[in-house]
Amino acid sequence: MTDLPLLTWALVIAALVLGILAGHFGWGKRWPASLSKLHPDYLTGLDYLVTEQPDRALDMFLKLMDANADTIETHFALGSLYRRRGEVERAIRIHQNLLARDALAPEHRELALLALAQDYLRAGLLDRAEALFQQVSEVPRLRAIALDALRLVYEQQHDWQQALGAYRQLARVKAAPPRIVAAHYLCELATLAIERGDTMDARRLLREARAEAKPFSRAALLRAQIAERDAQPELAVRLLRQALTESPELLQDELPHLLKLVEPQARDAVLAALVAQAESRDFSELKRLVFAAIAADLVGAQPLRASIEKVFSQDATLQAVWRAGPAQYERTAHEIGALLAHAEKYRCNECGFSGRSFYWHCPACHSWDSFEAYAIVKLR
């Protein structure tokens, strides 16, 4: 967690000073003749802040602050800063302190509940966050914010049915995220249906997913999985190829799977079609195919030979190996294949999280569709 810029803290402390002065003396009334009239506890609170004893400082400020309309923004600002700094327990104390006051205006109580729910979410206390967000979602002006937060709580709980429910409610108030998110929820539900053997329900869910987003490679992959279970390998191959055309980043995982499904005599024709497709796009796509082929131990496959040579002779990093001669490059290709088997093959382009598995939903930053094929291979 990075520290907030000093300036931000200075502004908060300034807000605290103004808030406390306002609370103590009242705006419009006589301004204190000198700061020496400040409550001595307030100065003690500042001492604690300066000497980096934040908990004691917080105790002191909470004791001093009246929750009247003049100091309330300060409470919210301080609570939000603590949460952003990852000091969630302090944020929770501030918001609970606010809610404990009988004189709190209803609109401030609703905001404090929302802030406390966000603290709980940040602290990973999902059940408490869920209950509060549900309560706040009844408030019309906060409904969209609370429903969207609820959707994220359900995502973290992997409760896809509820996440879809929150999405649909958001759509009704025209505040839903892109429809691809709903399509992913439906695919998560379809995956569970396939796991429990209910392929009829899985097909229904995938039809709904395709109504939300088309083309949608994830739905094609799941339909391929169902076709494979139903002993329809030709349909499975067609759907897998469709998914690979739509999402070439799936090649690393799905190329070996695809080749396992095709008859041995049809393998070269499928590879040639993949080469033609990659050639018709751009060099990076060809490179992606070549690396997936190398990882799948297909260095010697005839339809790929020209592509492997092309990538090795034109890629800036691999050129040196290419110049050393064909024997050298074949050996290097095998070595790269061995390295790729243990490399981190995917990376989230939102947060940089990387790993050996592909995720539709980033486990670190919870973005959808943010994973890209990626590998660091050190050439000796």
Residue ranges in contact with Zn ion by CB under 5 A? 348, 350-351, 353, 362, 364-365
Q: Angle formed by the axes of helices 88-99 and 54-64, to 10°?
A: 10
Is the CB of 26 or the CB of 352 nearer to Zn ion? 352
Closer residue to Zn ion in complex, CB, 137/370? 370
Please report how close the Cβ of residue 240 comes to Zn ion at its closest, in angstroms: 26
Measured N-to-C along each axis, helices 179-195 and 199-212 cross at an angle, to the nearest 10 degrees, of 170
Residues forming beta bridges with residue 372, ordered by sequence position: 347
Phi then psi for 29, rounded to 5 degrees? Answer: -90, -170
Between residues 197 and 363, which has the closer beta carbon with respect to Zn ion?
363
User: Least separation, in Å, of the C-beta of 368 and Zn ion?
Assistant: 10
The least distance separating Zn ion from the CB of residue 124, rounded to whole angstroms, comes to 17
Q: Where are the beta strands (DSSP E) in 191-310?
A: none
Residue among 225 and 370 whose Cβ is closer to Zn ion = 370
Annotate 8-48 with DSSP letters as a single string. HHHHHHHHHHHHHHHHHH-TTSPPPSSGGGS-HHHHHHHHH
Going by C-alpha positions, the residue among 67, 61, 91 that lies closest to residue 78 is 91
Least distance in angstroms from the C-beta of 262 to Zn ion: 34
Q: Are 361 and 368 in contact (CB under 8 A)?
A: yes
Residue 356's DSSP bridge partners are: none
Among residues 204, 178, 180, the alpha carbon closest in space to that of 190 is found at 204
The minimum distance between CB 343 and Zn ion, in angstroms, equals 19
**β partners of residue 347:** 354, 372
CB of residue 361 to Zn ion, shortest distance in Å: 9
Q: How far apart are the first and last CA of the chain?
A: 37
Q: Output the CA angle 101-102-106, nearest 5 degrees.
A: 95
CB of 150 vs Zn ion, minimal distance in Å? 21
**Beta strands 354-355 and 371-373: pairing type?**
unpaired
Q: Which is nearer to Zn ion, 167 or 353 (CB)?
A: 353
Closer residue to Zn ion in complex, CB, 312/353: 353
Task: Give 261 or 351: the residue with its C-beta nearer to Zn ion.
Answer: 351
> Quick one: DSSP state of residue 350?
T
Shortest spacing between CB 123 and Zn ion, in angstroms: 20
Cβ proximity to Zn ion, 266 vs 365, nearer residue: 365
